[in-house]
Amino acid sequence: MAPAENHEAAAVARPALSDYLRWSVDHKIIGVQYGVAAFLFFIVGGAMAMLIRLELWTPALDLMVSGSAYNSLFTMHGTIMIFLFIIPMWAAFGNFVVPLQLGAKDMAFPWLNAFAFWLIPPAAVVVLLGYFVNPAEAGWTAYPPLSTLFSGDGQTLWALGAHLLGISSIMGSINFIVTILNMRPPQMTLWRMPLLCWAVLATSIIAVMATPFLAGALTLLLLDRVAGTTFFDAAGGGDVLLWQNIFWFYSHPAVYIMVLPGMGVLSEVLSVHSRKPVFGYRMVGLSSMGIAFVGFTVWAHHMFTSLQPELRIPFMITTMIIAVPTGIKMFSWLGTIWGGKIRFTSAMLFALGFMSMFVIGGITGVMLAALPFDIHVHDTYFVVSHFHFVLFGGSVFAIYAALYHWFPKITGRMMNERLGKIHFLFTYFGFLFTFFPMHIVGMLGMPRRVAVYVPEFQLWNQVISFSAFVLGFSTFIVIYNVIRSYYRGPIAGANPWRALTLEWATTSPPPPTNFDDDPIPYEDPYGYGTEAAAVYLAVVERAFDGDSSGR
Amino acid sequence: MAEATHHEDGHHSNTVRLLRRDITVEGGVYTVVFGILAILTIIEVLSAELLKGAIHDMPEAAVLLGAAKAVILLVIAIIKAGLVIWFYMHLRDENRILAVVLLLPMLIATLSILYLLAIPPGGYSV
Amino acid sequence: MAQVTAQQLPSAAHAEHEHSHLSEEEQNNNLKLGVWLYLASEIVIFSIMIVGYVILRINEEEVVAQAHEQLGVGLVTANTFVLLASSYFMVMGLRAMQRGNRAGMLRWIGATALGGIVFLIGQYIEYSELSHLGIVLGFDAASQWSTLGMRFYAPTFFHGAHVFVGVVWALEVLRRGAQGRYDNNPIGIEMFGLYWHFVDVVWIMLFTLIYLV
């Protein structure tokens, strides 16, 4: 960039980097803190995934010293990605964007917000410390008796750390619910709320109601491990299935904690970048709530092989029902971009990537809901493929879409679009060729969570591993892009995407109090393509970007 | 049940209308509710002891009496909990959203408790 | 709100803006909703603890009946009355403060804290009686009580821990109350009250489910 532009950038007051390392109660600072911390964990968890794929390059056990080492590796990979990456990453975007979209000046409880974030580093230290002493080996699901009788002290630390992360998540969610319900300015009615806010509200309700199940289960697990109780030990009058049930009471809803905000992001990004109103706005908002509630009734489909037979069919049915609100969203997205003036920005590309991948993940989800099929592929790579399509193809693609979409608001500078597109291509194809072949090896019977496999699968596994390395490499592109754009990206201006939601009706980055007065939202958060919307956007542009037309 | 007469100072009134009678007592509705809670607790303990004796004397009706005991005691407990929530936690004059906040986890927890209780001891034999 | 632009605000200004833009009533409503949501999550945790006991109650009726026989209901009934009374003191304390009677509030909340302490002492006596009977937390295959200990101690101790936290909170409320911090806005007392009544409600359920049914 030209030096003149750099000079201009100095006028944009953005927090100093050192502000991000300190205790702060500003939701925008906390949002970035969450985001950067979560991304660091993403790198750690990703490196573990690379090691897993390296081990699986050959059928034998060669890289790892023992099967135990492999066990602890995938245990940590899952734990980090779920508890330390995806969930905090949504807290990051929720924190930064939701109060701005509502027109609020901060979260309802700024201090609690900061506290919830600062619980994460010590919790992460506890979890990771376990990995280095005597690691947990029971997978992120920590089924007893693996987690009680056969796992090292690291499992105790794992449970403690997960407990802390759960507490942090409950605090954050309480904050979101109160903020969304109570902190809206008078004109921001519930049915004018952007869909990301609806999604975060639904997510937070799930988190407050479901996370305590995890806390309860972890408490009992800790007692079993350290106090000699036998809640989960059949030999001592306990019940192994009790853990599976309570764990999935939490963890199935938690799947929606991880993907609902992504669905909210999709509605934002697709609408803005195709200049079309969201198709079926109310139904999309309600479907988030629908997912939240139906999500509590499907947990036992994780236990089809250990469930009493007469309950299998009811859970199969509820699981298929939950595909309906998800389908509503999918059709809403298709209807939104249909006939729109699509701009293939990096954010839009990742959003479209989400749609294609999530459809695959959703369809394999319905396949797995079908009991006879599930029994056949239970605990194979088919399942691994399914949830990576949902959690990577879904959540991570949405996280990238959100990053490209809101980076200008967060930093005041645009991301580099060309690098963004390269990043997208590497991620998209790396992802596709990593996880799609897993369907095939899974159908052929390759079990998950085992370091050795029969030699017939070697070619497939080498394809998978090679693609996984490509996928891993793509992360470096986005890291480079973020750092470069932070310093040298073009100045964004208040509203580079010409969006109608309120976060764009303030400077980039926004001042500490966000808005001078209660802002008045445009009558329809997605009313693109009308004369009135154009007038509104012109007003916003004049108000904030008067002299700096550069973007 | 107790009903506060809504005088000018609302729940701070010392006069409560209970069973068509005005009762004036320091603390008003709060004191009356405490009295009801205490009486219910005594009834609860007494009926538990009586039914336990009855079960002991009539082992042939043990299942029926046991079920009756559980139902009676749980109903009394729920009434007591409800009184505390309604009057002491002021749910009666709060925004209805708080009732939703309370009922939602109760619903979810009740469903999951019922589900967990249905698991036979020692798990299933498939 | 003063007209500020991004340029004028140094980063240090982020520190103290949290209370400036909400009215007292808005703040109070937020705090109340926040506490209710927190209590909602507690309901779920307690339900997990309770279900562990109820499973035993259904499956091992004899063991539970024997334990009830040995223990009696005298002590625990007295303890229940103490906790119920402390809940009543609590709400009377809030009422006193709402009427502007700070001294009365301090007396009532002091009684509340005392009730909590007496309850904890009662629980301690009960636990030591139980341990004399050989009912311990860990699983003991040789003992007739088998898993009774863990299924009983987990929920009651978890509740006792909540009472302990409540006592500490009550003392903090007393300290702040004595400084006159609640004279104009008793929301701090009300929040503690919600917590304390909730702990009482949990005990009402535990008392019935564990000691009576």
Q: Which of A224-228, A454-458, C44-48, C134-138 has the lowest mean pLDDT?
A: C134-138
- The model's pLDDT over B62-89, given as tens digits with 9 standing for 90+, comes to 888 888 999 999 999 999 999 999 999 9
- Chain B residue numbers with beta carbons less than 8 Å from the beta carbon of A294 are none
Contact A95, A30 (CB under 8 A): yes
**Per-residue pLDDT averaged across C30-41, rounded?**
94
For residue A64, the distance in angstroms to the closest alpha carbon of chain B comes to: 36
**Per-residue pLDDT averaged across B11-34, rounded?**
80
Nearest residue of C to residue A107, measured between CA atoms: C18
Residue B54 within a domain? yes
CB contact under 8 A, C54 and B113: yes
Residue B119 within a domain? no
Q: Does B46 touch chain C (CB under 8 A)?
A: no
Dist. CA B93–CA B30, nearest whole Å: 14
- Chain A residue numbers with beta carbons less than 8 Å from the beta carbon of B97 are 181
The Cα angle at residue A494 between residues A492 and A500, in degrees rounded to 5: 120
Higher pLDDT, A38 or B104: A38
Q: Which of B111, B116, B125 to mutate to test the interface with A (most CBs of A within 10 A)?
A: B116
Residue B99 within a domain? no
- Reported as a pLDDT band with limits 50, 70 and 90, residue C59 is confident
Closest-CA residue to C187 (of C201, C198, C199, C176): C176
- The dihedral region occupied by A58, where left means phi > 0, alpha psi between -120 and 50, and beta the remainder, is beta
Question: In the predicted model, what is the mean pLDDT of chain A?
Answer: 91
For residue B113, the distance in angstroms to the closest alpha carbon of chain C comes to: 6
Contact A81, A42 (CB under 8 A): yes
Q: Which of B88, B93, B115 to mutate to test the interface with C (most CBs of C within 10 A)?
A: B88
One-letter amino acid for residue C132 of the chain: H
Q: Does A547 touch chain C (CB under 8 A)?
A: no
Tell me: pLDDT of A158 over 70.
yes
- Chain C residue numbers with beta carbons less than 8 Å from the beta carbon of A26 are 14, 17
Which pair of structure tokens corresponds to residue A406?
A: 């809101």
- The model's pLDDT over A215-254, given as tens digits with 9 standing for 90+, comes to 999 999 999 999 888 889 888 888 888 899 999 999 999 9
- The model's pLDDT over A417-445, given as tens digits with 9 standing for 90+, comes to 999 999 999 999 999 999 999 999 999 99
Of C41, C47, C85, the CB nearest to B113: C47
Predicted local distance difference test score (pLDDT) of residue B122: 55
One-letter amino acid for residue A215 of the chain: A
CB contact under 8 A, C7 and A11: yes
Instruction: Find the domain containing B76 and state its range.
Output: 3-93
- The model's pLDDT over A171-184, given as tens digits with 9 standing for 90+, comes to 999 999 999 999 99
DSSP class of residue A508 equals: S
Residue B110 within a domain? no
For residue C21, the distance in angstroms to the closest alpha carbon of chain B comes to: 23
Name the neighbours of C, counting chains with at least 3 Cβ pairs within 8 A: A, B
Instruction: Read off the pTM.
Output: 0.92
Predicted local distance difference test score (pLDDT) of residue C81: 96
- Reported as a pLDDT band with limits 50, 70 and 90, residue C30 is very high
Tell me: pLDDT of C129 over 60.
yes
- Alpha-helical runs (H) found in A56-119: 67-79, 87-102, 110-118
- Reported as a pLDDT band with limits 50, 70 and 90, residue A9 is very low
Superfamily of the domain at C37-212: Cytochrome c oxidase, subunit III, four-helix bundle (1.20.120.80)
Dist. CA A97–CA A91, nearest whole Å: 10
For chain A, what are the domain ranges?
3-545
The number of folded domains in chain B is 1
Predicted local distance difference test score (pLDDT) of residue C4: 36
In the sheet that holds B3-4, the strands lie side by side as: B3-4, B15-18, B21-24
User: Is CATH 1.20.1260.10 the classification given to domain A3-545?
Assistant: no
Alpha-carbon torsion angle A243, A244, A245, A251, nearest 10: 110
**Per-residue pLDDT averaged across C130-147, rounded?**
81
Nearest residue of C to residue B63, measured between CA atoms: C61
